[in-house]
Amino acid sequence: MSYRERILTETVFPPGRLCLAFSGGSDSLALLSILPKDRSYAVYIDHGIRGREELEKEIELNRRNAERYSIPLKVLHLQEGEVAHLAREEKIGLEAAARKLRYALLMREDADFILTAHHLDDQAETLIMRLLSSSPFYRLEGIKRQNGRIFRPFLAVAKETINSYISEEGLEYSHDSTNDDTSYRRNHIRHSILPRLSLDEKRLLLSISLNVQAMNEKMSPIDIESGFTFSFSRSAFISAAPAMREEAIYRINGKLGYSSLFPRNECLAISRAIEKGEAFVCSRFYLRCSGDRVTVFPKEFNILFDGMHDFDYAGLSYRLGDVAADDKTLLINFSLISEPLIFRESRESDEIVLKEGRKKVRDLVKEYHVPYCFVLEDRRSIVAVFARLFGGRDRLSRRLLSEGGTPVSLVEVKSDSIQMG
């Protein structure tokens, strides 16, 4: 059996129109060469992070290879510096930033499936990398054959088979010089660890990933209600398998905008706190148990509010009017405000001048036995403190309690509108 026949036997193509994410390397070139010609095309993305001379040579070679196999090729360009900018903004590596931007472009393509040339060695590489980074168990599912519109026809094909096929066909492929930089963990694994594994050992890692995928498919994820806060059923969490508990915590971590992994020791501590029905303060959020509901409050946020329009943000509402919902709701005289207003979480250095005098907000937090509170701050100072949703009190600054002036409007800040369950 020739290597072409072996690859065709081990490759799976989905139905419909296919778009190949074509890097020009040996793996994607091998996949391009066996694509169904009547329903396929390829897309090459220039990330703008390598020298122009190297890139232009690569693009020209890619065009020749696409023409050889009668596959239409589109070339898309990211702006120079775009990858580095995203890496700084999201505090991720250049490789991760490039991948995120690449997939964003590919998902805009008018195709039923986006094909990538991930193979058996990539699967082994991914599992090793996740094991070395202490990833949660459910993440050992590794690379899926299909994830939405993303499909990986080569996932059961060994890199050795691809290399032999390329040699057999006499194909010329491009080489990305950044793949040689072993300062990247993935490249280190690829060049230093994978060559020591036998084909059977790589297939064993594939078997592990398939078993974890099957397990994940049989277990229902914990339902999380999202908004300004995140909440879920405490009883559902307690009865869930450990892998699904971790998945819920990691999912909230992602919803809060964190791209880095959640500290494993905090993940275990959160599970113990929920089991005991206790509040918990971790490095990224605050958690409170109330009855059967667990509510997670973000630690970092700012909301700019001009105060001149009704405003609702996932349960936090500001309403223009002159009638309070109850005797605990704060009514703010907007004629005494120096715009703009910022609604945010309290900080260690915050102070508010109350009727009885100047007070550190952290002392109010301690007095009310709450994990933290929200503050409303205008250009001059903090004008209100909101701890009611945690079981404390909402307080208004002395400046807004002063006499004089005709109110232009009154603003009702209903901090208790965040549902605690």
Nearest of 335, 339, 418, 310 to residue 374 by alpha carbon: 418
Looking at every residue in the chain, the average pLDDT score rounds to 83
pLDDT > 90 in the chain, percent: 42
Contact status, residue 259 vs residue 92, Cβ threshold 8 Å: yes
- Looking at per-residue pLDDT, the higher value among 302 and 314 belongs to 302
Q: Are residues 172 and 289 in the same domain?
A: no
Of 183, 218, 253, at which residue does a domain stop?
218
Q: Are residues 75 and 120 in the same domain?
A: yes
CA angle 352, 316, 373 (to 5 degrees): 35
pLDDT of residue 318 exceeding 60, the answer is no
3-class SS of residue 101 = helix
Q: Are residues 87 and 122 in the same domain?
A: yes
pLDDT > 70 in the chain, percent: 84
| Per-residue model confidence (pLDDT) at position 377 | 85
| Per-residue model confidence (pLDDT) at position 79 | 85
How many C-beta atoms lie closer than 10 Å to residue 120's C-beta? 23
Q: Which helix (H) or strand (E) holds 77?
A: strand 73-77
- Looking at per-residue pLDDT, the higher value among 307 and 127 belongs to 127
Nearest of 7, 75, 81, 93 to residue 49 by alpha carbon: 81
Q: Are residues 253 and 349 in the same domain?
A: no
Highest mean pLDDT among 150-164, 213-227, 277-291, 310-324: 150-164
Residues in the chain: 421
Tokens describing residue 141: 């599912």
pLDDT band, very low/low/confident/very high, at 180 (cuts 50, 70, 90): low
User: What is d(CA 71, CA 65) in angstroms, rounded to the nearest whole number?
Assistant: 9
Q: Are residues 122 and 266 in the same domain?
A: no
Question: For the ranges 160-164, 237-241, 339-343, which has the lowest average pLDDT?
Answer: 339-343
CA angle 59, 76, 33 (to 5 degrees): 55
Q: Are residues 72 and 119 in the same domain?
A: yes
Write out the residue range of the structural domain in which residue 272 sits: 225-298
Work out how many domains the chain is built from and give that number: 3
Q: Are residues 339 and 292 in the same domain?
A: no
Q: Are residues 41 and 64 in the same domain?
A: yes
| Per-residue model confidence (pLDDT) at position 328 | 65
Looking at the DSSP bridge assignments, the partners of residue 42 are 20, 73
pLDDT band, very low/low/confident/very high, at 378 (cuts 50, 70, 90): confident
Q: Are residues 194 and 249 in the same domain?
A: no
* Region 76-101 average pLDDT: 85
| Per-residue model confidence (pLDDT) at position 415 | 45
User: What is d(CA 370, CA 239) in angstroms, rounded to the nearest whole number?
Assistant: 28
